[in-house]
Amino acid sequence: MIRKLKSKIATSFRSKRINVFLLFLLFSFLILIFSKLSKEYTNTIAFEIEKINVPEEKLILKDSTYLNMTLKTHGFRWFRYYINKPKIKIDFSKDVTQKESVYLWNKSVAYLNNTQFDKQVQLLSMTPDSLVFRYGENMVKNVPVKLNADIKYGAGYNTSHPITIEPDSVMVIGPHVLVSKINVLETEQVVLNDVRADLDFKTKLELPKKSKDLKFSDANVTLKAKVEKFTEGTLKVPVRIINVPSGVNLKYFPKDVNVSYYVSLKNFKSIKLNDFKVICDYSKIMENQSFLVPELIEFPEMVKNAKINQQQIEFIINK
């Protein structure tokens, strides 16, 4: 028993000694790394060029993409550069001069030191010391957005006005050969069932598959609609005959037809008989045809599924 106890104590002591050793080893390593990163180093690294404020109508061709910078700075900054690819900004609204088909950039080391590097970084040299950016003309086009939707409303529900799309058009910028082929942008298919509440949500646009060289002012649009409780209404609307030849005395029956429609409860009382117009066009009669076909040519925008419940108007000609 005493031997087992001594063995456990010895094992525990050795384990603690090992843990203390590893802890000191870790601290030593961290101190060494900190010491190395605190020192200054001189090195050359490629900076990616970030083009900003490029005129929308210009297409910068991919010629000059990197600047090789020789810097003197501490190890922490170098460590950051190696993790995240460094970038140098070129502002096309003030840093370049424009010639026939190129933009020219030529900035001094002193200028870059003062504008894009802090005091902990010293820029010693850069190559090349000037850059040439070739450009082409972009096409800018405003393209309408089309809703691609399958929306089924709950029983007795509908919208008084069409679904609005915000924005209803999108600006497309890119090479003429690509932009000229885009005449409409559809939304991703929206499928909704048993809708009983107002609509207000975002959906994505179906952008062209090869859209890498294109820019779109929006990739998403918002769909909005007020969903209301609807009811059915019916009105007896008088029929008017048009294009009757001079000298033809026409008698027809019935003089009125029933027009059914759906409208929101809120607007039900505002619907008036004069809002509807039904005609029969005599000039559309086929040979030996003994009836006229009524057409609903006017009805309020707020009503849905307006239709005439009678498809024929009988007539006779009195000589």
Same domain, 89 and 156: no
Tell me how far apart the alpha carbons of residues 300 and 302 are, in angstroms, rounded to a whole number.
Answer: 5
Tell me how far apart the alpha carbons of residues 92 and 53 are, in angstroms, rounded to a whole number.
Answer: 5
Count how many domains the chain has. 3
> Residues 180-233: pLDDT tens digits?
889 999 999 999 999 999 999 999 999 987 777 788 999 999 999 999 999 999
Give me the phi and psi of 250, to 5 degrees please: -110, 135
- Two tokens, residue 52: 């900003």
Q: Which of 199, 225, 251 is the last residue of a domain?
A: 225
Q: Name every residue whose Cβ is closer than 8 Å to that of residue 229 and which is 6 or more positions away in sequence.
A: 156, 157, 264, 265
Same domain, 268 and 305: yes
The mean-pLDDT minimum among 35-39, 92-96, 238-242 falls in 35-39
The verdict on residue 32 lying in a domain is no
Domain residues for the domain of 84 are 40-136
Look at residue 8 in the predicted model and tell me its pLDDT: 52
Same domain, 49 and 121: yes
pLDDT category, 19, cuts 50, 70, 90?
low
The verdict on residue 29 lying in a domain is no
Q: Which of 83, 116, 136 is the last residue of a domain?
A: 136
Task: Please determine, for residue 41, whether its predicted confidence score (pLDDT) is greater than 60.
Answer: yes
Tell me how far apart the alpha carbons of residues 311 and 211 are, in angstroms, rounded to a whole number.
Answer: 51
Region 257-262: mean pLDDT is 95
Same domain, 53 and 128: yes
CATH of the domain at 95: 2.170.120.30
- Two tokens, residue 114: 């003062």
Same domain, 125 and 151: no
The verdict on residue 196 lying in a domain is yes
Same domain, 113 and 165: no
The verdict on residue 112 lying in a domain is yes
80 against 273, higher pLDDT? 273
The verdict on residue 264 lying in a domain is yes
Mean pLDDT of the chain: 83
Q: Which of 114, 136, 158 is the last residue of a domain?
A: 136
pTM of structure:
0.56
> Residues 101-156: pLDDT tens digits?
788 888 776 667 666 777 777 777 778 878 888 887 788 899 999 999 999 999 98
